[in-house]
Amino acid sequence: MFKFLLIVAGLVVLGVLVGGCGEEGEGGGNETVIMGDPAAGERLFQTTCFACHGVDAAGLPGQGKDLTTSVFTRGLSDEAFVEFVKVGRKVTDPLNTTGQDMPPYGGNPALSEQDLYDIVAYIRTLEK
């Protein structure tokens, strides 16, 4: 009986950690939280994002911004960061300070939404 209670208690805790036991979020409905995998994100970053942001994400002159110290990206939720990467930033955007386009999906339209969350999770590990 004790083992059964431990298993049930473990499942309840797991349910709270993973999905809030079906409780409604602030948006009024059940919300799905997508978690990023930093290890997968690093591999993806090193095959796409590095071209402008450098292998260490510290940016390249005249190309991509330093993502390790970016006040802009640090101020975004993971969801908003992913949405930003999906759209990118045109050179004509008044907030563009590089003089270069940030292409949608970092120039790699093959990236999935999960891939973007993985990349964001990796970038979060580099923030100073």
pLDDT at residue 10, rounded to an integer: 44
Domain boundaries defined on the chain: 36-126
> Which CATH number describes the domain made up of 36-126?
1.10.760.10
pLDDT at residue 29, rounded to an integer: 57
Which residues, given as ranges, of the chain have pLDDT below 70?
A: 1-31
Q: Which two tokens stand for residue 120?
A: 């964001």
Q: Dihedral (C-alpha) 20, 15, 38, 99: value to the nearest 10 degrees? A: -20
Average pLDDT, the chain: 83
Q: Nearest-CA neighbor of 34 among 79, 77, 85, 76? A: 79
User: Does pTM top 0.85 for this prediction?
Assistant: no
Q: Nearest-CA neighbor of 86 among 116, 51, 125? A: 116
pLDDT at residue 34, rounded to an integer: 87
In angstroms, the Cα distances linking 37 to 10, 11, 71, 103, 128 are 24, 23, 22, 23, 19
What confidence tens digit (pLDDT) does each residue in 66-102 have? 999 999 999 999 999 999 999 999 999 999 999 999 9
